[in-house]
Amino acid sequence: MTDIDDLRGVLDDVAGAYIRSLGAGASPGAGELWEELESLGLTLVGSAESRGGGGGTVEHAIEVAAAVGRHALPLPIAETAVVASWLLDSAGLDLPSGPLTAGGFAPADRVTAAPAAGGVHLRGVARAVPWARAAPHLVVVADGLDGRLVALVEPAGLAITEGENLAGEPRDDVELDLATTIWAPLPASVTNTGIRARAALSRSVQILGAMERTRDLTLEFVQQRRQFGRPIIRFQAVAQSVAVLAAEVAVARAAVTRCLRYAETGGPAWEIACGAAKVTTSRGAATVAALAHQLHGAVGITAEYPLHRLTTRLLAWQDDDGTEDEWAAVVGRSLLALGPDAWSALTPGEVLS
């Protein structure tokens, strides 16, 4: 597996070529983009090669999610690389090719599993599943058989109530009432909060990628746009708004980086850090989107300019996989549960000065 910088370069090259082809009037299908990324082993990066994954660490998978945010890619690449493939890998199941998505672990979900001939029978509803109508495989987390399990099903033929977020991305309710032979128990270390934390981290990284690209577009614009004979960045009000926008991005980057420190160990520190990252990025997303459009003016909503594709995703993703308020409550309860051990759990090996 290549290092993170090399991976980022490959992702940006492939995604950039796709976006440029759209701008040039071509209309390549998103499926073609998926096939190219899959051929490079990037859609399953971070999962064990022995099970059909691309190898690498969770940081490699997170870099894939960041590319989705930077380029507003219309595919479940982050869902596949960060959440669904990890669930299958954790349960010891082989990974299929093609796009994956996952459901059954949101607070509103209630999916149960009962014994069936050669497998399990799943019953329940997985709500707001990203890209369910477009993914050939759905990874389902269910309760039953003396514990939690994960199963692999095909959404085709299931009752799907189609929905979408503000950016027009599918968020579908999937009604489950079927048997599958592809299932396995989840290890005790994989908790429902841990699954939700990983999904929240994936979304936080997408938000961060979109925030960073929004910052770059805005900085370029205010340096080039001229009023009264000088770039508008030279005006104090504009410079102050740019500084606030950049600060929000920096804070979001710090929160996500903190979370990645615990990526391989998991546990309470991981869950709290992921929750804090989601709170921070969700809070910053609205501010960054508003300031970027304020500084761009009408240019920001033109069809040809990429800003609106980023900001609609920022406003949609801030509520996906748990809102700011929901994760703030989770973090608060977790810290209270740790009590006097909170500092040592969150800062292993660090000294309070």
What pLDDT score was predicted for residue 55?
85
For residue 265, what pLDDT band results from cuts at 50, 70 and 90? low
The phi, psi pair for 82, rounded to 5°, reads: -100, -40
250 or 10, higher pLDDT: 250
Kindly state the helix (H) or strand (E) to which residue 130 belongs, with its residue range. strand 119-130
Pair 177, 196 in one domain: no
State yes or no: pLDDT of 53 exceeds 90.
no
CA nearest neighbour of 280 among 203, 171, 191, 341: 203
* Model confidence at 163: pLDDT above 50: yes
Last residue of a domain, one of 144, 169, 185: 185
pLDDT at 80: 95
205 located within any domain: yes
For the stretch 225-246, pLDDT in tens is 888 889 999 999 999 999 999 9
Environment class of 235 (CB within 10 Å of its CB; exposed 0-12, middle 13-18, buried 19+): middle
Residue 352 falls inside a structural domain? no
- 45 and 126 inside one domain: yes
- What's the domain range around 261? 192-346
Say yes or no: 168 and 251 in one domain: no
Q: What is the pLDDT of residue 19?
A: 79
Q: Please check whether residues 130 and 246 belong to one and the same domain.
A: no
Q: Of 169, 185, 201, which closes a domain? A: 185
As a whole number, the mean pLDDT across the chain is 89
- The domain total for the chain is 2
Residue 288 lies inside a defined structural domain of this protein: yes
The reply to whether 71 and 158 lie within a common domain is yes
Q: What is the mean pLDDT of residues 199-207?
A: 96
CATH number of the domain encompassing residue 239: 1.20.140.10
Same-domain pairing of 143 and 66: yes
Same domain, 163 and 265: no
353: in domain: no
Q: Are residues 128 and 71 in the same domain?
A: yes
Q: Within this chain, do residues 146 and 246 fall inside the same structural domain, yes or no?
A: no
217 within domain boundaries = yes
Same domain for 302 and 169:
no
The more confidently predicted of residues 156 and 122 is 122
Ranges 39-43, 165-169, 279-283: which has the least confidence: 39-43
On whether both 33 and 181 belong to a single domain, the answer is yes
pLDDT of residue 351: 45
**CATH number for 64:** 2.40.110.10
Mean pLDDT confidence for 322-344: 88
The pLDDT confidence band at residue 261, using thresholds 50, 70 and 90, is: confident
Q: Which of 144, 236, 227, 126 is nearest to 183 (CA)?
A: 144
Question: What is d(CA 244, CA 190) in angstroms, rounded to the nearest whole number?
Answer: 38
Q: Which of 185, 219, 247 is the last residue of a domain?
A: 185
Higher pLDDT, 269 or 177: 177
Q: Tell me the pLDDT tens digit for each residue of 74-132.
A: 889 999 999 999 999 999 999 999 999 999 999 989 999 999 988 999 999 999 999 99
Residues 180, 214, single domain; the answer is: no
> Is 243 contained in some domain?
yes
Residue 125 lies in a domain: yes
